[in-house]
Structure 1
Amino acid sequence: MSDEDKSSKTEQPTEKKIRDTVEKGNLPVSREAPILASLLAAMAFFVLQVREGASHLLLALESTMENPLQWELETGADALHVLTLFAVETYRFVMPALLLFIGGGVVASLLQNAPQINFERIVPKASHISISSGFSRIFGLRGVTEFGKSMFKFIAVGVIVGSILVSGFPTMLKSMYADPVLLPELILEMAMKLLSSVSIATILLVAADIALSRMHWKRDLMMSKQDIKDEAKQMEGNPMVKARQRQIARERIRRRMMAEVPKATLVIANPTHYAIALRYSREEGGAPMVVAKGTDLLALKIRELAEANNVPVIEDKLLARSMYDHVEIDQMIPPQFFKAVAEIIYYLYTRSGIKMGVATA
């Protein structure tokens, strides 16, 4: 993307743009959150499992090493049996840690964004292997940000480890002369100090990373005024296409009306401006049905078809104009016109011996 394109994107993203982006799986994600989850999982493992699990594992190994004669190692099956026992004990010790690490990673992901299935993220894209795109990712703003985070982690971990080692150096010297049984507890204590200190520093990093990732995500979604216009046009539909669709719909309605005019019972017209064709049948029951209506040229066409098919045309200026505004095609006339239309139909029935043509009410 050029600098001009970036400078033109000054508008906040619309709800549709955000919704479409989320549906594609493009969500703000902190890469440091899983690291923090791993550190917390390691702390939980040390607190909940290491002491008891390590003691159980040591006892199992101790009973094996102190009495090696209890195992027969004459064949490969014997050796496999011994290794299986060791593997089972190791599995019991390591499995809680594995579950904690997996659970921590899942929780870290769920707390950032709701889970969703999206296969578009795994579709190969040319930009992923593009040299120019890779260069911009490395040396762009996001690349600089990632480098800054890496430097912060390196310096923070270095300072924390150094300070803990310096403060614990006298204790480590004394442990050289202490009972070896106390060494595991000492190592566990120093590991807990190290993990807790690194976790505190990582919490600060994760908070900053979450804010930065969302800020970069929102910045990437920024839109130009033209983008907003194009989106609105897309949502509302192209005006030219919609106009063409309306024109086609009107033409279909007109053809259908013209096909129904010869079947009408009468046409009520305002000599040249309005025409309403009605069909009435005693067998069908109900009020007269509007089968066609039109103004100006369409009204003249309706009259011509009616006269050509011997459908009576009744000229009533006030009634035609009033009905045109209140009746709809393929619907019965409203009650306020029942009396006036009934009088016209009665008039036509009384003149049934006269040929169909133009009459004046």
Structure 2
Amino acid sequence: MNLQLFADEKTEKATPKKRDETRKKGQVPKSTDVNTSLMMLIVFLFLWMYGGEMIISMFADMQREMFTNYLITEVTAESVAELFLTISTQALLAVLPLMLLAAFAGTFGSFIQVGAMFTTEPLKAKLNKLDPIKGFKRIFSARSLVELVKSVLKISLVGATVVFIIWTHLDEVLLLSQKSVTDAMSVIGWLTVLMGLAVAILLMVLSIPDYIYQRYDHEKQIRMSKKDIRDEHKNIEGDPRIKSKRKQKQMELAMQRMMQEIPNADVVITNPTHFAVVLKYDEAKAEAPFVVAKGVDFSAQRIKKRAQEHNIPMVENRVLARALYHQTDIGQQVPTDLFKSVAEVLAYVYRLKEAHSANSHYKN
């Protein structure tokens, strides 16, 4: 019983397959503080550089329109609806750049944390999320406690930052009532941007330990037991597609090794079209000739093409080619009952080589 409990304990790191499955489900380590801080930083930087001109232009257009058209327009249901639509459109156009920047910053924040990923799995309705017992456990879990502490800490630090900025500029705040509307709005806007940038930088600093914690917690959540790893290995081994790919890869590697040995061979015995068996005789390695490559149909054609490229002699012997293909494996010596036939072929090949060497020497 104790051994069974130990086997079910989540003590092992997640396998690549488990990580891929959790990623497809949208379960990835991600800190929302990274997104929030980037969105605030980009938006308030934009306001710092162009906010004054944008707000002044927007209010100037609205005031000009109000004093030239709206004040002399008859108040009816249609005119009020048109006025509301016009003001809403102007306000939307004014904040549209900020919305686009915020969306870009949020997307970029997610990308730098989890990379390119698109999944609809988290959006699917799951009835187990309505389970009150599981919900109660989530509320009072260690993760919820950590999130509560983080939230309280962030609120405290953000509040302290805002209070500090207001306190250091208290004189300007107290003098707002004595300033013109334009100057007062300028001071309020500048203080707002200053507080926004300070909070954004603060959240960016806090997002570093938060992201580290999220990665740690994610690794802890996806841990596997020894039994899980064994079951996964069995499932992979039993998958026909995995077996097929593995077999295909093994065949490709075997073909590559065969092709590398052909240039050093002595002869290729062919069928002539369906079978090809490559032989080599090396007294230092074996007492008898041995097979360095063999193939049928397409593989046989590749073997013969490779042999032609390196001027390896090819001898057509249908009976011997079939017998060698079916009775021997790569690296195995020629069977005893085929010694005589193979010896005759090798003798013929050696005579050809000697004749070729003699002709070459005579020409020279």
Q: What TM-score, normalized by structure 1, do the two folds share?
A: 0.62
The number of aligned residues is 262
Once the 2 structures are TM-superposed, how far is the Cα of residue 16 of structure 1 from its aligned partner?
2.2
Say if 2:25 and 2:121, in contact at 8 Å, map to a contact too.
Answer: yes
Say if 2:12 and 2:226, in contact at 8 Å, map to a contact too.
Answer: yes
Once the 2 structures are TM-superposed, how far is the Cα of residue 61 of structure 1 from its aligned partner?
2.2
- Matched residues in 2 for 1:21 and 1:336: separation? 60
- Matched residues in 2 for 1:63 and 1:192: separation? 27
Indicate the residue corresponding to 1:247 in structure 2.
Answer: none
Does the C-alpha gap of structure 1 residues 169 and 30 become closer, same or farther in structure 2, counting only changes over 3 Å?
same
Once the 2 structures are TM-superposed, how far is the Cα of residue 175 of structure 1 from its aligned partner?
2.5
Amino acid at match of 1:89: Q
Does the C-alpha gap of structure 1 residues 11 and 75 become closer, same or farther in structure 2, counting only changes over 3 Å?
closer
Amino acid at match of 1:286: R
- Matched residues in 1 for 2:133 and 2:6: separation? 17
Once the 2 structures are TM-superposed, how far is the Cα of residue 140 of structure 1 from its aligned partner?
1.4
- Matched residues in 2 for 1:65 and 1:50: separation? 22
Does the C-alpha gap of structure 1 residues 19 and 66 become closer, same or farther in structure 2, counting only changes over 3 Å?
closer
Indicate the residue corresponding to 1:286 in structure 2.
Answer: 318
- Matched residues in 1 for 2:6 and 2:126: separation? 22
Say if 1:327 and 1:334, in contact at 8 Å, map to a contact too.
Answer: no
Aligned positions of 1:19-30 closer than 5 A: 19-30=20-31
**SS in structure 2 of the partner of residue 176 of structure 1:** helix
Indicate the residue corresponding to 2:229 in structure 1.
Answer: 228
Does the C-alpha gap of structure 1 residues 130 and 6 become closer, same or farther in structure 2, counting only changes over 3 Å?
farther
Does the C-alpha gap of structure 1 residues 98 and 340 become closer, same or farther in structure 2, counting only changes over 3 Å?
closer
- Matched residues in 1 for 2:214 and 2:147: separation? 10
Amino acid at match of 2:67: E
Q: Identity of counterpart residues, as a percentage? A: 24
Indicate the residue corresponding to 2:193 in structure 1.
Answer: 192
Say if 2:327 and 2:335, in contact at 8 Å, map to a contact too.
Answer: no
- Matched residues in 2 for 1:323 and 1:43: separation? 77
Indicate the residue corresponding to 1:326 in structure 2.
Answer: 328
Does the C-alpha gap of structure 1 residues 134 and 74 become closer, same or farther in structure 2, counting only changes over 3 Å?
closer
Residues 96-119 of structure 1 show CA distances to partners (whole Å, capped at 9, x for unaligned) of 111122122211111211233334
- Matched residues in 2 for 1:81 and 1:126: separation? 46
Say if 1:9 and 1:223, in contact at 8 Å, map to a contact too.
Answer: yes
- Matched residues in 1 for 2:75 and 2:326: separation? 108
Once the 2 structures are TM-superposed, how far is the Cα of residue 92 of structure 1 from its aligned partner?
2.5
- Matched residues in 2 for 1:163 and 1:286: separation? 96
Indicate the residue corresponding to 2:171 in structure 1.
Answer: 170
Does the C-alpha gap of structure 1 residues 74 and 229 become closer, same or farther in structure 2, counting only changes over 3 Å?
closer
Does the C-alpha gap of structure 1 residues 324 and 286 become closer, same or farther in structure 2, counting only changes over 3 Å?
closer
Does the C-alpha gap of structure 1 residues 83 and 230 become closer, same or farther in structure 2, counting only changes over 3 Å?
closer
Q: Looking at both structures, which has the greater relative contact order when contacts are Cα pairs under 8 Å and sequence separation is at least 6?
A: 2
- Matched residues in 2 for 1:159 and 1:6: separation? 49
Amino acid at match of 2:328: H
Residues 287-328 of structure 1 show CA distances to partners (whole Å, capped at 9, x for unaligned) of 26869xxxxxxxxxxxxxxxxxxxxxxxxxxxxxx9985279
Say if 1:128 and 1:134, in contact at 8 Å, map to a contact too.
Answer: yes
Does the C-alpha gap of structure 1 residues 205 and 74 become closer, same or farther in structure 2, counting only changes over 3 Å?
closer
Indicate the residue corresponding to 2:129 in structure 1.
Answer: 128
Aligned positions of 1:31-42 closer than 5 A: 31-42=32-43
**SS in structure 2 of the partner of residue 222 of structure 1:** coil
Amino acid at match of 2:318: G
- Matched residues in 1 for 2:114 and 2:201: separation? 23
Once the 2 structures are TM-superposed, how far is the Cα of residue 147 of structure 1 from its aligned partner?
0.6
Once the 2 structures are TM-superposed, how far is the Cα of residue 160 of structure 1 from its aligned partner?
1.3
**SS in structure 1 of the partner of residue 115 of structure 2:** coil
Indicate the residue corresponding to 1:87 in structure 2.
Answer: 88
- Matched residues in 2 for 1:158 and 1:70: separation? 43
**SS in structure 2 of the partner of residue 40 of structure 1:** helix
Kindly indicate whether residue 245 of structure 2 is the aligned counterpart of residue 213 of structure 1: no
Question: RMSD between aligned alpha carbons?
Answer: 3.5
Once the 2 structures are TM-superposed, how far is the Cα of residue 188 of structure 1 from its aligned partner?
1.5
Q: What TM-score, normalized by structure 2, do the two folds share?
A: 0.62
Once the 2 structures are TM-superposed, how far is the Cα of residue 209 of structure 1 from its aligned partner?
1.5
Amino acid at match of 2:143: R
Q: For structure 2, which runs of at least 5 residues remain unmatched after alignment?
A: 244-316, 345-364
**SS in structure 1 of the partner of residue 116 of structure 2:** coil
Does the C-alpha gap of structure 1 residues 7 and 142 become closer, same or farther in structure 2, counting only changes over 3 Å?
farther
Does the C-alpha gap of structure 1 residues 119 and 85 become closer, same or farther in structure 2, counting only changes over 3 Å?
closer
Amino acid at match of 1:180: V
- Matched residues in 2 for 1:323 and 1:81: separation? 90
Once the 2 structures are TM-superposed, how far is the Cα of residue 211 of structure 1 from its aligned partner?
0.7
Structure of higher CA gyration radius: 1
Say if 1:32 and 1:209, in contact at 8 Å, map to a contact too.
Answer: yes
Residues 127-185 of structure 1 show CA distances to partners (whole Å, capped at 9, x for unaligned) of 31122222222221211111111111111122112222222222211232233321111
Once the 2 structures are TM-superposed, how far is the Cα of residue 30 of structure 1 from its aligned partner?
1.3
Say if 1:13 and 1:222, in contact at 8 Å, map to a contact too.
Answer: yes
Aligned positions of 1:212-291 closer than 5 A: 212-237=213-238, 286-287=318-319
Q: For structure 1, which runs of at least 5 residues remain unmatched after alignment?
A: 243-284, 292-321, 344-361
Does the C-alpha gap of structure 1 residues 48 and 336 become closer, same or farther in structure 2, counting only changes over 3 Å?
farther
- Matched residues in 2 for 1:218 and 1:182: separation? 53
